[in-house]
Structure 1
Amino acid sequence: MKEFSIVIAGGGSTYTPGIVMMLLDNLDRFPIKTLKLYDNDAERQAVLGEAIEIVLKEKAPQIEYLYTTDPEVAFTDVDFCFAHIRTGKFKMRELDEKIPLKHGVVGQETCGPGGIAYGMRSIRDMIELIDFMEKYSPDCWMLNYSNPAAIVAEACRVLRPNSKVLNICDMPVGTLRRMSQIIGLTPKDLEVRYFGLNHFGWWTSVKDKAGNEYLPQIRDYVAEHGYLTQVEVDTQHMDQSWQETHKKAKDLLAVDPRFLPNTYLKYYFYPDYVVEHSNPEYTRANEVINGREKDVFSTARTIIEKGTSKGSEFSIGSHATFIVDLACAIAFNTHERMIMIVENNGAIANFDDDAMVEVPCIVGSDGPEPLAQGKIPEFQRALMYQQVTVEKLVVQAYIEGSYQKLWQALTLSKTVPSAKVAKEILNDLIEANKEYWPELK
Structure 2
Amino acid sequence: MKKFSIVIAGGGSTYTPEIILMLLDNLDRLPLRSIKLYDNDEERQNHVAKACEILIKEKDPTIQYVATTDPEVAYTDVDFVLAHIRVGKLEMRSLDEKIPLKYGVVGQETCGPGGMAYGLRSIPGVLENIEYMEKYSPNAWMLNYSNPASIVAEACRRFKPNSRVINICDMPIGMEHTIARILGFKNRKEMCIRYYGLNHFGWWTSIKDKDGKEYIQDLIAHQLKYGNCLADDDASHYTDSSWFDTAKKVKDIIAIDPTMCPNSYFQYYLFGDDMVAHTDPNYTRADQVVDTREKRVFGECARIEKVGTAKDTTLQIGIHAEFIVDLATALAFNTHERMLLIVPNNGAISNFEKDAMVEIPCIVGKDGYEPLTVGEIPHFQKGLMEQQVNCEKLVVDAYEQHSYLKMLQALTLNKCVPNANVARKILDDFIEANKAYWPELK
TM-score bin (small chain): over 0.9
1:362: how far off?
Answer: 0.6
Q: 1:237 to 1:320 in 2, by over 3 A?
A: farther
Does the Cα contact within 8 Å between 1:178 and 1:229 map onto a contact in 2?
no
Name the amino acid aligned to 1:329: A
Contact 1:337 1:362 in 2 (8 A): yes
User: Deviations for 1:97-155, whole angstroms, at most 9, x for unmatched residues?
Assistant: 00000110000000000000000000000000000000000000000111100000000
* Corresponding residue for residue 116 of structure 1: 116
Q: CA deviation at 1:320?
A: 1.5
Letter in 1 for 2:319: S
Give 2:320's aligned residue.
Answer: 319
Call closer, same or farther: CA 1:356–1:265 in 2, change over 3 Å.
same
1:177 pairs with 2:198: no
Q: Distance in 1 between matches of 2:371 and 2:232?
A: 32
Alignment match, 1:94: 94
Q: Does 1:143 align with 2:132?
A: no
| Partner residue, 1:48 | 48
Q: 1:237 to 1:409 in 2, by over 3 A?
A: farther
1:238-290 CA-to-partner distances (Å, cap 9, x unmatched) read: 33212211110010000100000000011110011111111101111111111
Scaled by the length of structure 1, what TM-score is found?
0.98
Amino acid at match of 1:276: A
Residue range with higher mean Cα deviation, 394-403 or 317-326: 317-326
Contact 1:342 1:356 in 2 (8 A): yes
Alpha-carbon distance in structure 1 between the residues aligned to 2:320 and 2:400 = 34
8 A contact 2:153–2:167 mirrored in 1: yes
Deviation per residue, 1:185-223 (Å, 9 max, x gap): 121111111110000001110111110000111111111
Q: Could you say which residue in structure 2 is the equivalent of 1:365?
A: 366
Query: Aligned equivalents of 1:379 and 1:223: distance in 2?
Result: 19
Q: Is 1:104 matched up with 2:132?
A: no
Asked if the contact 2:171/2:320 (under 8 Å) is kept, the reply is no
Asked if the contact 2:300–2:314 (Cα under 8 Å) also holds between the matched residues in 1, the reply is yes
Alpha-carbon distance in 2 for matches of 1:316, 1:195: 28
Q: Give SS of 2:86's match.
A: coil
Question: Could you tell me which residue of structure 1 aligns to residue 253 of structure 2?
Answer: 252
Secondary structure, aligned partner of 2:265: helix
Assess if the C-alpha contact under 8 Å between 1:12 and 1:46 holds in 2: yes
Shift of 1:230: 7.5
- CA, structure 1 residues 167+237, in 2 after alignment: closer, same or farther (shift >3 Å)? farther
Quote the offset at 1:311 in angstroms. Answer: 2.7
Residue 215 of structure 1 aligns with an amino acid whose one-letter code is: I
Q: Tell me what 1:204 maps to.
A: 205
Give the corresponding residue for 2:155: 155
Return the alpha-carbon distance in structure 2 between the equivalents of residues 347 and 172 of structure 1.
Answer: 19
Question: Which residue in 2 is equivalent to 1:2?
Answer: 2
Match of 1:417 in 2: 418
2:78 corresponds to: 78
Aligned to 1:190: 191
If the length of structure 2 is used for normalisation, what is the TM-score? 0.98
1:237 Cα shift? Answer: 7.3
Alpha-carbon distance in structure 1 between the residues aligned to 2:231 and 2:32: 36
SS at match of 2:139: coil
The alpha carbon displacement at 1:381 in A equals 0.4
Listed one character per residue, the Cα deviations across residues 333-381 of structure 1 (whole Å, up to 9, x for unaligned) are: 1011011100000110100010000001111111111100110001110
Counterpart of 2:101, as a letter, is L
Is the contact made by 1:241 and 1:284 (CA closer than 8 Å) also made in structure 2? no
Work out the CA distance in 2 between the residues paired with 1:345 and 1:339. 16
Larger CA deviation: 311-320 vs 208-217: 311-320
Unaligned runs of 5+ in 2: none
Judge conservation of contact 1:181–1:231 (CA < 8 Å) in 2: no
- Calculate percent identity across the aligned residue pairs: 61
Q: Check if 1:132 corresponds to 2:132.
A: yes
Query: Could you say what the CA RMSD is over the residues aligned between the two structures, in angstroms?
Result: 1.4
1:267-346 matches, within 5 Å, as: 267-346=268-347
Residues 396, 283 of structure 1: alpha-carbon distance in 2 compared, 3 angstrom cutoff: same
SS in 2 for 1:263: coil
Distance 1:302 1:230, change over 3 A: farther
Secondary structure of the corresponding residue to residue 292 of structure 2: helix
Q: Aligned pair count?
A: 439
